[in-house]
Amino acid sequence: MRNSELKDKGPALITGAARGFGFALASELKKHGFELIITGRDEKRTKASAEKLGAAYYVTDLSVPGSAGALYEKVKADGYSPSVLVNNAGFGAAGEAWKVSKEKDRDLIAVNITAATELSKLFLSDACERGYGALLNVCSIAAFQPGPYTASYYASKAYLYSYTLAAREEAKKYNVSVSSLCPGPLDTEFFENAGANKPGVSMSAEKAARYAVKRFLKGKKTIIPGFYMRATRILPASVKTAFVARMKIIKN
């Protein structure tokens, strides 16, 4: 079954879709005919975004231990059987590795790694058993090299990217599609929320989502919006690491 045909099999569940890139990805999936379920942390904002998207919604903080499992079980108990899962919720933390608080790192790992892993596992378990479904994990070009001054974020995306590539190979025999989405800088609140300076160049979240959803529906393995971002893959990781170190990502 093609990923585009999954729209007739069940809704798409997108985490962190009350705003930013998640909202843009949800809007694109809707254009391709998917019913939507979105998640966010703030009741008012999540409800308002769900109304705009015509989506069902759940309010959950994915940094709380057990929240990912509880979310998935609640979605199923409410009678939904998602045919697509997009693990989009995630955040960064700028600063020298030893200066970022341990609480911030713990939450970052909980959302970017633990919740994404748990949701992937629960979704894949259903999808592989029934023989259809598609998973999209939002990683980053940060997955391809270490990131001085935002070390835990880059490492978290490297984890998710590696996990997703491995899961893709395993899921093939069940006719389940697994893709990694690795954008470069986007014009969302991401950098502000990370306490970081915005890079000079960024792509609109809508443009990146348009490209990403098209490629996802074709079942592509690694999706990188933007020609220049795709081109950076040929550079050695050591060169990119030195570049990131000089980017002045932290605010003084």
Ligand X SMILES: NC(=O)c1ccc[n+]([C@@H]2O[C@H](COP(=O)([O-])OP(=O)(O)OC[C@H]3O[C@@H](n4cnc5c(N)ncnc54)[C@H](OP(=O)(O)O)[C@@H]3O)[C@@H](O)[C@H]2O)c1
| Interacting residue ranges for ligand X, rule: CB under 6 A | 16, 18-22, 40-42, 61-63, 88-91, 111, 138, 140, 183, 185-186, 188-190, 193
- Kindly tell me which of 1 and 61 has the beta carbon lying closer to ligand X: 61
Nearest distance, CB of residue 48 and ligand X, angstroms: 11
- Kindly tell me which of 11 and 40 has the beta carbon lying closer to ligand X: 40
Nearest distance, CB of residue 188 and ligand X, angstroms: 3
- Kindly tell me which of 132 and 139 has the beta carbon lying closer to ligand X: 139
- Kindly tell me which of 6 and 14 has the beta carbon lying closer to ligand X: 14
C-alpha dist (Å) from residue 44 to 48, 49, 58, 113: 6, 9, 11, 26
- Kindly tell me which of 90 and 147 has the beta carbon lying closer to ligand X: 90
- Kindly tell me which of 68 and 132 has the beta carbon lying closer to ligand X: 68
Six-digit token pair at 84? 């697509």
Nearest distance, CB of residue 164 and ligand X, angstroms: 12
Alpha-carbon Rg for the chain in angstroms: 17
d(CA 14, CA 153): 20
**Cα dihedral across residues 88, 29, 12, 46: positive or negative:** positive
Nearest distance, CB of residue 56 and ligand X, angstroms: 16
Of the candidates 19, 13, 62, 64, the one whose C-alpha atom is nearest the C-alpha of residue 44 is: 19
User: Is the Cβ–Cβ distance between 154 and 195 less than 8 Å?
Assistant: no
Q: Put residue 128 in one of left, alpha, beta given phi > 0 → left and psi -120 to 50 → alpha.
A: alpha
User: Is the Cβ–Cβ distance between 171 and 128 less than 8 Å?
Assistant: yes
Nearest distance, CB of residue 90 and ligand X, angstroms: 2
Nearest distance, CB of residue 175 and ligand X, angstroms: 27
User: Is the Cβ–Cβ distance between 211 and 225 less than 8 Å?
Assistant: yes
